[in-house]
Amino acid sequence: MRLEKKGAIITGAGNGIGRATALRFAAEGAYVIVADIDLDAAQNVADEITASSGDAFATHVNVTDRSSVNEMVQAALSRYGRIDILVNNAGILRDAQLRKLTEENFDAVIDVNLKGVFNCAQAVAPIMVEQGSGVILNASSVVAAYGNFGQTNYVAAKAGVIGMTKVWARELGRKGIRVNAISPGIIRTRMTEGIPEKILDKLLERVASNRLGEPEEIANAYLWLASDEASYVNGHVLAVDGGTVI
């Protein structure tokens, strides 16, 4: 098992990519902290893991609220005594063209998708430094590389995540901590369910594999980066996008 007895916090783990990652990590022996703003969804995932003889517990977290993040981290320490992996997966969409994008919706996406990543990483970094080891994995997006119509806020946040990833890799690498990011393409999740078929077809035109990705395919990439197999990978942004950016 590649993550045996590793303590892993996964934010936004109640659905989609987060859920798939929680299940995959648990199958590889990790103790999983299933964190989500929707506690019922998180509990369902934790129950699914324990029903399969894994070890997990659900906790509520609002990544924009530092006290909530600190409570999540303390709960993880109380339960498992260490935090080996953080997957900053929580994210939201509030799409609109520049002329129609409200300040409220701009701030909401930046707060969750960018500042939330900062909040969680800053909360676990001292613990990982004290341990002398750890892995922080951040969710960016393929749109950070090429922009996307109607996503000023989302693209800005995901591009910022890449920048923070590289800074943290430099700062924390000498402490035994690796920091990397995943850049997913168009993945079959609740976020993509609402995309009109015509628009989805247009988006898929630029994907070399000519299909949507599956949450499990992103989870597999997170697993590799979290494992010792990627022990010399630091400050990297791994595109898992079916060849969208070539």
Q: Decide if 117 contacts 137 (C-beta within 8 A).
A: no
Number of alpha helices (DSSP H) and beta strands (DSSP E) in the chain: 10, 7
Residues 6+ away with beta carbon under 8 Å from 172 = 125, 128, 129, 134, 136, 178, 179
Handedness of CA 121, 126, 128, 133 (dihedral sign): positive
Residues 6+ apart with CB under 8 A from 39: 58, 59, 60
Q: Is 140 helix (H, G, I), strand (E, B) or coil?
A: coil
Q: End-to-end CA distance of the chain: give it in Å, rounded.
A: 33
Residues 6 or more apart whose CB falls under 8 angstroms from that of 194 comprise none
Would residue 154 show up in a list of annotated catalytic residues for this protein?
yes
Strands (E), the chain: 7-11, 31-36, 55-60, 85-88, 134-139, 177-184, 237-240
Cα of 207 vs its chain's centroid, Å: 22
Of 31, 80, 146, 154, the active-site residue reads 154
Q: Is 242 left (phi over 0), alpha (psi -120 to 50) or beta?
A: left
* Residue 246 tokens, joined: 């070539």
Tokens of 148: 């996307």
Catalytic residues: 154
